[in-house]
Each structure stands twice: as C-alpha cells, then as structure tokens.
Structure 1
Amino acid sequence: MTHKILFIGRASVGKTSLKKIIFENQNPKSLLKDPLKPTRGIQITQYNWLNINLSIFDTSGQDINDFLEQGEAQSKIFEKADIILYIFDYENLKEISQELIKEIEYIYKVMIGINKKARLILIYHKIDLIPELIKNNFRLLTRQIQNLINLPVKPDIYFTSIKEEFIYSVHNSFSEILSRFSEQTLKIKKILDEKIKDYSNILCLVIDNQNKVITQSKSYKYNISLIYDSFITFYQLWEENELETYLDNESHLFKTGDKIRIVKISRLNFLKSNLKYLIWISESFNEIKLDELIHNTIKRLIDAFKKNN
C-alpha cells in the first residue's frame, strides 16, 4: 500500500527543502548556502520509509491558485491523499494573515470535498524568523492560529526550521507525522523518551536500512549544539558514502570545535524490521552510566516487541 502526502503552500516557504532533508538526507547547511531552484508544476517522488511506500506530491507555490481551482490539477493533487501538509512561514503570516487563513480554510474545504479521509496538517516553517518572545511559547502560538481558523477540526501545527538551533524540529515533526503510518515507530519513540528524559545531553537516533533518521529522542536537558553537530556529522558521512562503515563500529568519538562527543551504536536486528541502528550521542564521558542506559533501553525494547516476533 502506498500513502500519498501532498506538500502545498506559497512560493519560497521551503517545501522542497523539507522534503530533501527528510527523505534524501540532504545536508541543511548546503541548502542554506545554495538554495534550491523553485519547483515548477508538480513533482511526484516515490520514497520508502521503513516498510511503507510514500508518494510525495511537491507542488509549485507559484501555481497554488491553479491547484486550488476546480479542474484536473486540483483532482490530481488532492485525490487519494492521506495527508495534506500546508506549509507557510513567519513572513506569510505577518504580511497576509487573513488571506492565509482563508486559504487554509479553502484547502480544507477542497480536501473534504474530494477525500473525506484525508488529514490537514500545518507546518509553520522558518521559525528562526519569529520574534524571541513568541518563539519561546509555541503552545500559545498554536492556540492563536487555531482560533483564527474557522474549521470543524482544528489542524495540528508543527514548527520547523533548517537553521542550526532548530534542525531537531524538522526531524521531530516529520517523525511524528509519518509515524501515523507506523505503530512500531510510535512505540519506540515513547520508550526512548521515557528512558532518557532524566539524563543530560543525550541524543538518540533511530536509523533505517537506507540510513535515514526515522525517529529520535533527546534528554530533557541538552545542549542545542549537540543536536546540530550530530546531524551535520551524519549528513557529511552520508554524502561521502562513509556512513555505513562508520555505523559498523560500536563506539566513536567525534569533535566539533571545542566539543568532544561519544557515540555508541546498537543494532536493532531483534525488531525484524527495516530499522537497523540505535545511535546514542552524548557529551558525558561517564561510559558506565551510558552503557547502563543503553542496556536497559535495549532490554525494554526487546520486551516490548518480543510478542510481535
């Protein structure tokens, strides 16, 4: 079975960049340095996420009015879509908020008219541009936006940016969105969150057999540079075709600036799925505690999934 996800929104909001980072392991640093050319028309790409086939419809922001008019183009993009991702940014909301709200309401109307089972989700991208006062209260911002939208069902809102201090938000948001198709991934994330919440400066990544980040968890207390540096390191290894060799070893150290991190790698063969590695990155050099955490987490995962195997 193939699940269809539609990326729609105005020009230059970052739709294709998000797609490239999530599904193609594109390095966000390179995207910031060399922005992608605007998408023209509709780009349809097939991806495999775990054992789930995804058909991603990436639409041109310049043609959004054409896609929303009744006709062949509208039917093509909305028909059989499981999830509609409407992507906007701070500049959109600041300058054309009323127009944007009406557009969201109209997209919902079109979606329900063509496919009542589809789900509308909002992506508030480029949150690095949001004023600091608002940036620290996404829950309030979510309520404010939802209250502006006159719909029978309030859409979920995710906040993302590919800038350094927010790169985690991209993977975390799409992990939650795509996990709607996978009970296994939801269960794994819940266990990881539970196990590492009381530690400091630990990031845990779940990698599939295509070396893509499927889900992740971080300790409640963490250094934001740990997250960004970790993702950039793995992006670079992937681009240089060295990630597979790197993951074959169970322990590493890597240095960025004056920071040294320890990396531990656990195999997930016991899950008997496309999930391959559990990667632990920590700034703490108390290996005994880290190894104990890893041991307890793996044991918890084995216990949770042994009935399924």
Structure 2
Amino acid sequence: MSKKIVFTGPPKVGKTTLRKIFFEGENPSKLLEYSLTPTHGQESILLNLKEKVGVFDLAGQENQRWYETEAKSVFFDTQIIIVVLDSSSPKEEIVKFTKKVLKLRDEITPSSFVYLLLHKIDLISKDKLKIIKDKVNDEFQDVNLLEIAYTSIMKYSFLPTFTLFTEILKLSLGIKKDENEKYSLKFLEYVVSILNIIDQNVVIPKEDIKRDLKLPDKIFNNFIEYLEKMEFLEASKLNKKPVISLTKAGKNYINEIVGKFSIESIQNFKNNIEESKFEEIPSFLGFLIADRNGRTISATEVYEGAFGLFLKYNDEVEKGNELDLIPMFISALEKFAEEINIMDLPGFKLEGSNLKIHTIKYDICTLCLFMRNDVNFNSVKKEVFAWFDNLMETYQDKLKQSIESGNMVYSSSLHSEAKKWLEQMNKNYDDLLINLKIYNFEHVKKLYQKLDELYLKIDFKYSMILEKLKKLKINLMESAMDNNFQSFKDIVKKIKELDS
C-alpha cells in the first residue's frame, strides 16, 4: 500500500516550488528565475522509494473546494499534510488557515501528522521572524501531531529545509528515529501535556486523554502503565467508565520534576539551541559537566566566548545563568526517564535547528556535549566516550570535591586538556569529511549544489542528462534519509563522471 503526502496552502506561497525541488529534483535557480504557472486542481507524482509515496499538490485558488465540498476526500488516508504559508502573512491569517487544516485533519484523517511551514523567511527581518515564531508557537503549543518549521530555499536556510524534507520522507515511510532520539523536546511536550491534563482533573477517563492528545496507542499505554507501576496513578470507575487520577505521590512527583517545565519553557529551551549562522558553528563547540541535580560544575568551550556566539539567550536572563538551565533541564528529563524505567542508555540527545546536545551519564555527574546538528556522532562516538571516560578517571576526586562543596570546579590542567581535545576533535572530524571517510548534511548540501551547477551548464536539448541529474537529486535525498554511505559515494562518483 502506498503512502500519501498532501501539500496545501494559499496560492503563491511556494508549495509547488518546494515539491519540485525536494521531490522532483528541479533546479532552484531556474524555478526562481522563471515564475511557475499556478497549479489548477491537483497535481500528483509517485516517488519510488522503499515504498511508493504519492505526493499531492492542491491548488491554492481552489481551497474552498478542498475544505468545503466532497473534494475534501483527497485528504483520506494521508500520512502527512504539509501546510505552506508565507511567513510575511499577518499572524491572524496564519492562525486561521492552520486551524482550518487542523479541523479537517481531526475530522477526516486524525492520525495524520501536520507540518506547518512558514516559508520565504529570507524575505523578512530577524526581528519580525522572532515575533512570528513567538506568536505562532504560543498559539499552537498544545496541538499534537503538529510541527512548525521556518523555511526558505535561499542559501543560508537551504540545508535546514533540505533536512526537514528528508525527515518528512522518513516519517511518511514509517522509518523510526534512532533510539537515542526518542527523548526529543516533542516527546517531552507530550509528557508534560499528559501529566497536566491528569493534574487539572480530579478524575478523567483514559479514553478522553488519549483522544485529546491524539497520541499513538503504544506511547500512551506504556506511559500510563509505567505511572501505575510507580503508584503515581490510581485507576477506578465512574459511571462504569475506567477513569484515572493522580495519587499524592504522583502530585508530588509532578511538582518536583515535571511541573517545572511548561510547554512554553520547553519551547524557550529549544530556542536556546538554535542559531542562524549555521556554517560558522564548529563541529564540536564545547561541553558542560553537571552534577546529578543539573548544577553546572565545569564548562569548557573550544575557544573563549563560543557558547555566547552560538547559543541564543533571553534578554531578560544573564547569559551564564541561562546556560546553566540546560543541564538542569536535561537532569529533570533524565530523572523522569529513570522514575518510569524507560531508559537504559549511556546518553541521549536533544536537538535544535542547528545545534544538538549529546549527554553522557556517569555515576556522579552528567556531561553535555554541544555539537553542530549535522555532526555524524556515531562515526566518532567511541573516541568521544573513551576520552570522557579517561577525563572522569583523571579528575574524579576534584569533581567529587566540587560536587560536595557546591562550588564550580576550576582546574587549569582540566580546561587546558579539554580545550586541546576539542580543537583536535574539530580538526580530526574535518579531515574525515574531506577524505570522504564519513559524510553529513553539509556534504549533502554541497553535492546538491554541485548537481544544480551541472544542471545550469547542460544545454536543455540534452534532456536525458537533465533527467539523470534530477534522479541523482532524489537518490541523494534517499541516501541521506537512510544514512547510506555507500550510496552517497556512488553519487559522488556519478557526479564526477558527468562533470568530466
């Protein structure tokens, strides 16, 4: 059975352009140079990936038809709905259209995942973009099965947009993320939502929670089962319906750990690991050492001021204080995972759009390693873990002393050694990339751009070659989606042959 993706949005917002670039391999420069003819009715293509994926592009001029007549049946059996809106549109228009889509989703295809793409962000100022992000995120913070992204096909935003469409294809095919990624901020949003709903009600039917949150049965049922085992929930019946409520222990647990983090605070945390100047970020930025309660006891940057350059801060909070909130946040998440007994991993990662944090847990402390979001961590994982293991062994007494005294540890030898290691890690990683021993999404972007350059060189009369280039683009996305290094090297080889 084939999968289904539907593009929807007002006219002239860029739906067809995104479809043609990322699903059909068209050249972005050509699409920007020549205006596309408006779509009429619906256009569809069939992608032959691991499974067949049907992509439907709905004409914006006919939205009344798609949402108010029998033609809405086009949304039946859809895995993903991609809503494309112009980021410069008034907030009221963005909210109104999105709510219309969500209402239809809930009526016709309630399990569909909705991606809201606020597109053409290159055409608005950073200040205006921040205002839009705050307003839109606030409006839809309680909506599940929805992800909001800010996109553009221009230079500095192309890689995050490409990465987003790779993730969309993965989701449409049901490809699961790495186990370490299940503790994403989105997952924590679900956790907070569930506990808040239970906390706000004296008693509530199980089915009502599941219906309101639209969570997959497995996640919801596992969560409830673990909380019941921990005696945080009490099951009973009301009017012959199974209901649940929080026990005293459950209420204390929420107040102590999860209650600290509202949906808004999670969004703010996510914003702290985003930065627009992606190309300037070192592969390995630095790391924090924190005690098991999330109190920072040591911080090392690859160069002085690196954290300040590449981490966003709330203007109302001092930079040092807000940086310290990160290990506190992670510590609360770790404690949550330990309490409900669902994590047996040496570390996990949290991601923003351009940075990610990989945590490594030890008996007395937790390390938070900051990296570019496109770093292929698995390729250097053993080396990183070995170095940190050695660091813990060497400085164990000093770290224990710092934890017991409650003072920040300062050791010139630790910081000097750590800084040299970060510098060497960045050099080694860059060497691996240059020699094609590993690859990341920056590589993918450069190859994609190389294919575009070749496209512009070739005369349009050589249509067979142009079609080959388009096919290579689709193959490139597929190799990135599957993390298939051999396929990536084959594409490199084909590009060199075409360019010779």
| Alignment TM class, shorter chain as reference | 0.5 to 0.7
| CA distance 1:99–1:192, change in 2 (3 Å) | closer
CA contact (8 A) 1:6 1:83 kept: yes
CA contact (8 A) 1:161 1:170 kept: yes
- Any unmatched runs of 5+ in structure 2? 182-373, 381-424, 459-464, 470-475, 493-500
The 5 A counterparts of 1:149-228 are 149=140, 152-153=143-144, 155-182=146-173, 186-187=177-178, 193-194=376-377, 195=379, 198=426, 199=429, 217-218=441-442
1:72 equivalent in structure 2: 70
1:3 equivalent in structure 2: 3
- The one of 470, 478, 488 equivalent to 1:277 is 488
CA contact (8 A) 1:25 1:235 kept: no
Give the letter aligned to residue 488 of structure 2.
Y
Give the letter aligned to residue 74 of structure 1.
K
Cα offset, 1:244, TM superposition: 7.3
Give CA-to-partner distance per residue, 1:140-193, whole Å, 9 cap, x none.
854531212386427211222112332213211101111124576845xx8963
| CA distance 1:112–1:203, change in 2 (3 Å) | farther
2:96 equivalent in structure 1: 102
TM-score (norm 2): 0.40
CA contact (8 A) 1:124 1:158 kept: yes
Give CA-to-partner distance per residue, 1:257-281, whole Å, 9 cap, x none.
xxxxxxxx9xx8xx9x897224899
1:250 equivalent in structure 2: none
2:28 equivalent in structure 1: 28
Which shifted more, 193-202 or 99-108?
A: 193-202
CA contact (8 A) 1:5 1:57 kept: yes
Cα distance in 2 for residues equivalent to 1:57 and 1:216: 29
- Any unmatched runs of 5+ in structure 1? 205-214, 219-225, 246-264, 282-309
Please say which structure displays the higher CA radius of gyration: 2
| CA distance 1:157–1:25, change in 2 (3 Å) | same
Matched, 1:237 2:454: yes
| CA distance 1:165–1:202, change in 2 (3 Å) | farther
User: Helix, strand or coil: the match of 2:17?
Assistant: helix
User: Helix, strand or coil: the match of 1:26?
Assistant: coil
Matched, 1:127 2:344: no
User: Helix, strand or coil: the match of 1:7?
Assistant: strand
CA contact (8 A) 1:27 1:235 kept: yes
1:116 equivalent in structure 2: 110
Give the letter aligned to residue 449 of structure 2.
I
2:350 equivalent in structure 1: none
TM-score (norm 1): 0.62
CA contact (8 A) 1:160 1:170 kept: yes
1:259 equivalent in structure 2: none
Cα offset, 1:133, TM superposition: 3.3
Count the aligned residue pairs. 231
| CA distance 1:216–1:57, change in 2 (3 Å) | farther
Cα offset, 1:242, TM superposition: 8.1
| CA distance 1:48–1:143, change in 2 (3 Å) | farther
User: Helix, strand or coil: the match of 1:91?
Assistant: coil
1:298 equivalent in structure 2: none
- The one of 67, 73, 88 equivalent to 1:91 is 88
Which shifted more, 56-65 or 144-153?
A: 144-153
Cα distance in 1 for residues equivalent to 2:432 and 2:104: 43
User: Helix, strand or coil: the match of 1:12?
Assistant: coil
Cα distance in 1 for residues equivalent to 2:23 and 2:485: 15
Cα offset, 1:99, TM superposition: 3.0
Give CA-to-partner distance per residue, 1:111-132, whole Å, 9 cap, x none.
1111121111101111101203
CA contact (8 A) 1:146 1:155 kept: no
The percentage of aligned residue pairs carrying the same residue is 25
Cα offset, 1:89, TM superposition: 1.4
User: Helix, strand or coil: the match of 2:43?
Assistant: strand
Where relative contact order (Cα < 8 A, 6+ residues apart) is larger, the structure is: 1
